[in-house]
Amino acid sequence: MLTLYEHPLSPYAQKCKIVLLEKGIPFEAELPDGFGSGRAGGDFVAGNPRHEVPALVDGAVRIFDSTVILEYLEDKWPTPAMLPGDPAGRARARMLEDVADTQYEAINWGLMEIDVFRRAAGDLALALKARAAEQTEGLLNWLAAELGDRPWFNGDEFGWADAAIVPHVIGSAASGLGPKPETPLAAWLANANARPSVAAIVASIRKFVLAAPRDLSVLLAHGFRRQYRDHRLEWMMRSGGVSIVLDGLEKDTLRFGNELRG
């Protein structure tokens, strides 16, 4: 059976779980020991130089990066297909995934830094949240145009693009920044949430959130370091959070990507 190393709040892991469930592939989801400290070990880091979730183990095969995992699943289990059949449609699905994985993920991640890890308060928190709301509205408008009159972002059937986008829109909705009611995008989200695969990840999110304290800033004093990778660092810098980055560097409560060592 496949093992997917994941975190319930990771949209990258969520899209992989959605595709695994849509394809009916048996798997076990596992939270790596020491995850978030930058000092994880064991089978999770074997063949996973990034030390990030998700990571997939299929026998002797070790795969990291959520997009590469989706490609592997599509290659090995082509039915039901998650990508459209035509080259243009396949490219479009991948481009939608890229926007979701970079621009969209960074906004929701930044809001979590403020609301859950308490890295900002007062005027700074208000300014960052205002920027996040503005950026989210822009992305939702762009997604609405991309959806058009299609039932799914993938086309006639739920697929790759939908699995990649829905975790981020769910995150926005949880922050009160979801699609406007009675719009095609809101209808798409409702239809996606009704799918057993998406309902399963929502249940995992709720279970984790209910068990975790609302204020996770205490973790930062006990070795937990949030990763400021590429687009996340860019979001914080461009949105007015330079002081947060500098404070995190000084206190060693943030980290960057893992350095490869031969």
Q: Parse the chain into domains and list their residue ranges.
A: 2-76, 87-211
The DSSP element (H or E) to which 5 belongs, if any, is strand 2-5
pTM over 0.85: yes
pLDDT of 33 reads 80
User: How many residues are there in the chain?
Assistant: 262
- Can you identify the CATH homologous superfamily of domain 2-76? Glutaredoxin (3.40.30.10)
CA distances from 51 to 20, 68, 220, 237 (A): 21, 15, 19, 24
The DSSP element (H or E) to which 63 belongs, if any, is strand 61-64
Asked if residues 202 and 27 have their Cβ atoms less than 8 Å apart, the reply is no
Tens of pLDDT, residue by residue over 61-114, are 999 999 999 999 999 999 999 999 999 999 999 999 999 999 999 999 999 999
* Domain 87-211 CATH (choose: 3.40.50.300, 1.10.1140.10, 3.30.70.3270, 1.20.1050.10): 1.20.1050.10
pLDDT of 23 reads 98
Ordered per-residue pLDDT tens for the chain, 262 residues: 999 999 999 999 999 999 999 999 999 999 988 665 556 667 787 778 888 999 999 999 999 999 999 999 999 999 999 999 999 999 999 999 999 999 999 999 999 999 999 999 999 999 999 999 999 999 999 999 999 999 999 999 999 999 999 999 999 999 999 999 999 999 999 999 999 999 999 999 999 988 887 788 888 988 889 999 899 999 999 999 999 999 999 999 999 988 887 6
pLDDT of 261 reads 74
pLDDT of 16 reads 98
Asked if residues 100 and 154 have their Cβ atoms less than 8 Å apart, the reply is no
pLDDT of 39 reads 61
SS3 content of the chain, % helix, strand, coil (to 5): 55, 10, 35
